Amino acid sequence: MKKQRIGFMGMGIMGQAMAQNLLRHGFPLTVFNRTAARCAILKELGAKVAASPRELAGKSDVVIVMVTGPEAVYALLAGEKGCARALDETKTFVNMGTVSPAYARELAHAIEPLGAAYIDAPVSGSKKPAEEGQLVILAGGDKARVKALEPVFLAMGRAVVHCGGVGQGSMMKMAVNMLLATMMQGLAEAAALARGGGLPLEALFAVLAAGPMQCGLFGLKEPMLKRRQYPAQFPLRHMLKDLRYVVDAVQEAGTYAPLAHAALNTCRAAVSRGLGDADFAAVAELVRSLSQSQED
């Protein structure tokens, strides 16, 4: 069966890895990035590099966008060289970046007159799962179209969850990232308490790994907290952006979420201290700095 032609825009931490996995699975791939140099590795691996979003969309059946927010998505769509000029009823536009559910619905409404199908499909996972093709795809939109895209999604991830109509993939992303942020803050506070109470971090993580609180997140962040080094898998500034979307979604849904607001405030304070480009686990450094009993 002939594989769909994929256009992929956004060669950031996640996008490069996801695009490489599409190539490994044999999909014809065209890429675009505002900073063209970031496409070099994809070109070496066999991808075509488009000069504009419009050119990319013209050469693709499925247009995937993996950028940081609404402004970046709009920049790829709009203008004489924007991909909107080449979207029609033969194409599917997939936004895999994190945006608010309200914006996902707004984007679908804007694309509808062009004839193209719209799917919002943010992902659960960070740099390492992206590199290993182990992301979880959170898809919102027409169920049959999501099913048709499964071979594409499964080239980048290990599971596809259909969350409902347009915008519901983004709503699921809000729920997942809210939990992720609050778990990380809880781990940071537990680590500070352990240190302050004279416990070694090795013992804390051994207990977590041995019991019902065992989870991949804690295992992934353990070396960061022990070494106090936070190479970015998911930058803190991106978590801050996402948490702003989360609290907006909470307000829209009318739910009670004090932990989400606390996590937002913690991330904001950590970014203000220059930790924005570090992994979001660097909130542990903020907690540590504010804890009276922590050693230098």
Separation CA 97–CA 70 (nearest Å): 9
Distance separating the N- and C-terminal Cα atoms of the chain? 60
Residues forming a β-bridge with 124: 136
Query: Which candidate in 48, 91, 127, 173 is catalytic?
Result: 173
Start-end of H helices in the chain = 13-24, 40-45, 53-58, 70-77, 101-111, 127-132, 143-148, 150-156, 168-196, 201-210, 216-227, 236-253, 258-270, 283-289
Tokens standing for residue 41? 């590795």
> How many CA atoms within 13 Å lie on the side-chain side of 288?
17
Annotated catalytic, 173?
Answer: yes
Burial class (CB in 10 A: 0-12, 13-18, 19+), 290: exposed
Separation CA 31–CA 161 (nearest Å): 26
For CA atoms 143, 128, 14, 48, give the dihedral sign.
negative
Cα 76 from chain centre:
18
Active site residues per annotation: 173
